[in-house]
């Protein structure tokens, strides 16, 4: 299988060979912990911590770093969820002296 442009095919044995192996990663809240790093072209870098639980992903920034020329940005949350076969997405942002508030959201549907 072609891994895509600029990517190398994986080597070695998979770390988790079965569903039972993956279940060992489940946290005490019955979800799976995530650490996500998002880099924006405007000079902002966000480190999110969160979890996947059922058909929902919740993330909140643990750290926001920005270059001297980037706009002020202090915190973010992101939520992704599958509802009625649609992917819902919400991004809340604290920036420019304003508290955490809705910044962007969307509902994506599959087109056949």
Residue 62 pLDDT class (50, 70, 90 cuts): very high
Cβ within 8 Å of residue 22, ≥6 positions away: 16
Whether residue 101 is predicted with pLDDT greater than 80 in this model: the reply is yes
Number of domains into which the chain is organized: 1
Q: Is the pLDDT of residue 1 over 70?
A: no
**What pLDDT is attached to residue 112?**
83
The structure's pTM equals 0.82
Angle at 13 between CA 5 and CA 37, to 5 degrees: 55
| Residue 1, in any domain of the structure | no
pLDDT tens across 64-96, in order? 999 999 999 999 999 999 999 999 999 999 999
Residue 51 placed within a domain: yes
Q: Give residue 9's pLDDT.
A: 75
- Has residue 5 been placed in a domain? no
| Residue 84 belongs to domain with CATH number | 2.40.128.20
Q: Which pLDDT value is given to residue 107?
A: 97
At 2-42, the pLDDT tens digits run 666 777 777 788 888 899 999 999 999 999 999 999 999 99
4 belongs to a structural domain: no
Judge whether 104 lies within some domain.
yes
Report if residue 80 sits inside a domain.
yes
In a domain, 66, yes or no: yes
Give the domain extent around 52: 31-109
> Which whole-number Å values give the CA distances from 23 to 1, 30, 32, 105, in the listed order?
27, 10, 9, 31
Does residue 58 form part of some domain?
yes
């Amino acid at each position: 299988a072609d891994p895509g442009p600029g990517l190398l095919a994986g080597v070695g044995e998979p770390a988790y060979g079965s569903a039972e192996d993956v279940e060992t990663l489940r946290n005490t809240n019955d979800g799976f912990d995530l650490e996500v790093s998002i880099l924006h072209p405007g000079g902002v870098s966000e480190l999110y911590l969160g979890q996947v639980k059922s058909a929902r992903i919740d993330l909140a920034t643990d750290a926001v770093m920005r270059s001297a020329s980037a706009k002020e940005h202090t915190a973010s949350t992101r939520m992704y969820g599958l509802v009625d076969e649609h992917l819902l997405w919400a991004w809340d942002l604290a920036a420019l002296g304003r508290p955490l508030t809705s910044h962007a959201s969307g509902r994506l549907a599959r087109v056949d």
